[in-house]
Amino acid sequence: MESAIPEHLRQARQCPVATPAAYQPPFPAWTSRFSPLTGQVVMAYFGVQGRDPVALSDLAPVTGRFGQARGPLFWDGAECIDDQGFHTCIAIAYWADVQAFADWQQHSGFGAWWQHPDREQGPLGWFMEVVCPTAERFETVFSSPDRPEGIGHLASGVSEPILEHGYWGSARDRLPLAQIDALLPGRATGSTEPGLRQRPPGRDNLCLIRSGQDWSDTRDQERTLYLRDVQPVLAAGMTFLRDQGRDIGCLSCRFMQVLDRSGLPLEKSFGLACFDDLANLERWAKTHPTHVAIFGGFMNYVQTLNFQIQLRLYHEVSVIPAQAQFFEYVNCHPGSGLLSR
């Protein structure tokens, strides 16, 4: 059984691990393996919002440029409704380095399109949320090794089954930087200027989690159990974070339905949440009734099926310094994303 932290990122640990003594995970999990040359990656969330339904096709001015030189190595689309009832569609794109992202913005014409005054007109709002963590600042975990998601599409391979999963605090134990850094939160660095284009400030060690579910392979009893017992409790927890999460350190949460390239829904979803502190994410996961219900429902589900499940789960967690964040909202309502947070 491997450590989730690759050998080239291991250091003499200064911060304690949460792994129990003589721990054996109750089920296997895997993590993505990246080249030792991997530096600063780009996770870019391009969004459109409106009071009326919006579609992935509304993001064609963005996604239509992805195929140009220096475009993302992977992207996928998803939709949700936010806490103000606005329909939102997002294209999530991943680059292996920040220079490629900068080159793409300039040479594809995206930068000029984004800055055009037309973005500030009409019924649609637009936003761009970009974080650029280094390899020591993000981690992944998958319940299956053969179907990558998110940043996993940029990996060079997959680990053997890992030790650090299935217990409270395991996400921190998988983060390479957490070996020597407590990843304490920082205050927002600045303020948001008024206007139709708003850029909320970054904050040190902002914690971003994308946590997904794929039930497309489930059948018969398992599908019934997932749709009847697990999915509603999961949706309730995401709704709590979306509507009331600010009080516990969740700055933004979207529970998203994944779309195929034509804009049709797939049997996949994910929660996309920003916390002001990794510790607040950990605290919600371990102690809050909404996540206790999610975890309890999932454990009942897997035990009923004797741990023989076709449901696929994954997540990626990043802890990002303020200077590696960029958020801009154009013609958006005041509560969008990280605005007014």
Provide the annotated active-site residues: 315
Burial class (CB in 10 A: 0-12, 13-18, 19+), 2: middle
Buried residues in 294-327 as b, exposed as e (16+ CB within 10 A): beebbeebbeebeeebebbbbbbbbbbbbebbeb
Name 211's Cβ contacts closer than 8 Å, sequence gap at least 6. Answer: 270, 271, 273, 313, 314, 315
Give dist(CA 159, CA 150) in Å, integer: 16
Dihedral sign computed on CA atoms, order 153, 155, 160, 165:
negative
Record the tokens describing residue 275, joined without a space: 């916390």
Q: What angle do CA 52, 55, 61 make, to 5 degrees?
A: 115
**C-alpha distance from residue 244 to each of 175, 249, 330 (Å):** 28, 10, 24
Q: How far is CA 168 from the centre of its chain?
A: 19
Give dist(CA 205, CA 322) in Å, integer: 7
Q: Where are the beta strands (DSSP E) in 55-181?
A: 74-81, 87-95, 125-131, 138-142, 157-158
Asked if 142 and 29 count as a contact pair (C-beta separation under 8 A), the reply is yes
Reported as half-sphere exposure (CB side, CA atoms, 13 A), residue 45 has a value of 26
Give dist(CA 140, CA 270) in Å, integer: 14
- The DSSP code sequence of 214-243 is E-TT--HHHHHHIIIIIHHHHHHHHHHHHH
How far the first Cα of the chain sits from its last, in Å, is: 41
